[in-house]
Amino acid sequence: MAGVVVAAGAAACTPMQWVKADATEADIRADAAACQQAAWREAWMHSWYYRPISPFIMRDATGRPFYVWPHASFYDPFGDRLMEESRLAQFCMQSKGYRLVPVEPEKKEAGR
């Protein structure tokens, strides 16, 4: 059981990179910056236009009031602006033909 936890933890920390067959490093940086900027703009507009203007009061199962704004105990995690921005940037890169793959570790020379 401990081995599964260690393997899952190691996989979660694996560095990732965008790759595309015919793209240079400068192309990747430019496309990633353009996608990040477009994703930020779209997520910001969506969160600004569709969020409540002020906090509102809801009641739990026992009837006790609690405030909700913008997130509370029962908020929609997919409505989070930062998660939405990340999702949109990833979608943009994938639509340009990029794939997100783990970074391959550098191979050490046999003589060293």
Q: Which residue has the higher pLDDT, 72 or 1?
A: 1
Task: State the first-to-last Cα distance of the chain, in angstroms, to the nearest integer.
Answer: 36
**Residue pair 77/70 in contact by the 8 Å Cβ criterion:** no
User: In terms of residues, how long is the chain?
Assistant: 112
pTM of the complete model beyond 0.75: no
**pLDDT for position 58:** 77
Predicted confidence (pLDDT) at residue 44 exceeds the cutoff of 80: yes
Number of Cβ within 10 Å of residue 29's Cβ equals 12
**pLDDT for position 72:** 45
Q: Which residue has the higher pLDDT, 105 or 86?
A: 86
**pLDDT for position 40:** 92
What are the extents of the domains in the chain? 16-102
**Residue pair 68/59 in contact by the 8 Å Cβ criterion:** no
**14 falls in which pLDDT band (50, 70, 90)?**
confident
pLDDT tens, position by position, 56-93? 777 888 888 877 665 544 555 556 788 889 999 999 99
